[in-house]
Amino acid sequence: MTANPAALTIREPDDWHLHLRDDAMLALAADITARQFARAIVMPNLLPPVTTVAAAEAYRDRILAALPQGRRFTPLMTAYLTDEIDPDEIETGFEKDVFTACKLYPAGATTNSASGVTDVARIYRVLERMEKIGMPLLVHGEVVSPDIDIFDREAVFLETVLTPVLRDFPALKVVLEHITTADSVQFVQDAGPTLAATITAHHLRIDRNALFEGGLRPHAYCLPVAKRRRHRTALRQAAISGNPKFFLGTDSAPHLKHDKESACGCAGIFSAPVALESYTLTFDEEGALDRLEAFASEFGPRFYGLPLNEGTITLHRESQTVPEIVTQGDLAVVPFHAGETLGWRAAERG
């Protein structure tokens, strides 16, 4: 590859961590993601959460119905683990190809996690079953104790929850979602091949200063919250390293503009409109455009045991100004990079 290619064509990517929401927001979010990604792991944190095979099938149908005619896109559904979840329901969903994975939200850790797991010991029977049938566990890796500093919650989770789970279920495939710390990078590198991690576009670009730049910046707020610059540096190094344990997961998480710009603003960054451009910008800055394809389009499916996509998508070195706001009917959402001019533009998938 030349140093500054005018365009870059890669195998079609997938998004291994995505929030599509429901109803009117789904109508906005589904098409935007499907312009860039062929498949996505769809998070189950709806209200009420997706805990049954029937609910996941119905949600999958709503996602497909929300796409414009002819748009190829495969939603990969997940089950939301609760203290009461039934291992048989999980296994049935996996065998029927409805559930691709299960999601562990520690209760109270993030958006719509109130029905999440209060103590991982309570889901050991499900984890045992998942290990047996080869079903991946996806984790929001933060402890929730108010005594633990919010910037330390991910690092403490590694020690107090993830380490025992990996020890007790050595064959269970686990994805540590949206990692934000050098500690997680190191932990994933040191663990066996059953552990991988997703990295968002925004954690590769912002550090915690972004939350306070000239005033309080609700659109830079997500969970896990962005950390110090040195952590961002470690994430960038992991993403471009060529280590197949690190792959793309945007965690694009739309919230209405007025729900973010509030006295108690919601956590989540809506990166879907320019997700691929944002990753490309980062890889370009790091002189690693030649590693983008593996990170975006190969390591994820290999970890999940799924085929690679056949099609391609082209990124052009062209400037585009990101809109201040994305709307659909009455809905208004502020995208990541709002108002910025980016040096890359992704062509729409066919």
Q: Kindly state whether residue 103 participates in binding Zn ion, applying the rule CB under 5 A.
A: no
Q: How far is the CB of 256 from Zn ion (least distance, A)?
A: 17
249 SS3 class? coil
Q: Kindly state whether residue 142 participates in binding Zn ion, applying the rule CB under 5 A.
A: no
Contacts with ligand NCD, 85-124, as mask; x by CB under 6 A: -------------------------xx-------------
Annotated active-site residue in 147, 251, 259, 290: 251
Say if residue 62 is exposed, middle or buried (CB neighbours under 10 Å; 0-12, 13-18, 19+): middle
Q: How far is the CB of 72 from ligand NCD (least distance, A)?
A: 25
Helix (H), strand (E) at residue 39: strand 39-42
Site for ligand NCD in 140-159 (CB under 6 A): 140
Q: Kindly state whether residue 251 participates in binding Zn ion, applying the rule CB under 5 A.
A: yes
CB-based contacts of 322-329 (< 8 A; 24+ apart in sequence): 322/273, 322/274, 323/273, 325/257, 326/28, 326/32, 326/270, 326/273, 328/24, 328/27, 328/28, 329/24
Cα distance from N-terminal residue to C-terminal residue, the chain: 25
Of all residues in the shown chain, the one whose CB is closest to ligand NCD is: 268
Nearer to ligand NCD, 208 or 291 (CB): 208
70 SS3 class? coil
Beta-bridged to residue 39, according to DSSP, are 74
**Two tokens, residue 132:** 């047996």
Contact of residue 267 among Zn ion, ligand NCD, none (CB under 5-8 Å per partner type): ligand NCD
What's the length of the chain? 350
Q: Which of 109, 106, 55 is nearest to 77 (CA)?
A: 55
Q: Kindly state whether residue 140 participates in binding Zn ion, applying the rule CB under 5 A.
A: yes
Choose the binding region for Zn ion from 33-41, 105-113, 114-122, 308-316 (rule: CB under 5 A): 105-113
Q: How far is the CB of 254 from ligand NCD (least distance, A)?
A: 8
Q: How far is the CB of 268 from Zn ion (least distance, A)?
A: 7
Q: Kindly state whether residue 211 participates in binding ligand NCD, applying the rule CB under 6 A.
A: no
Task: Tell me, yes or no, if 251 is annotated catalytic.
Answer: yes
Active-site residue list: 251
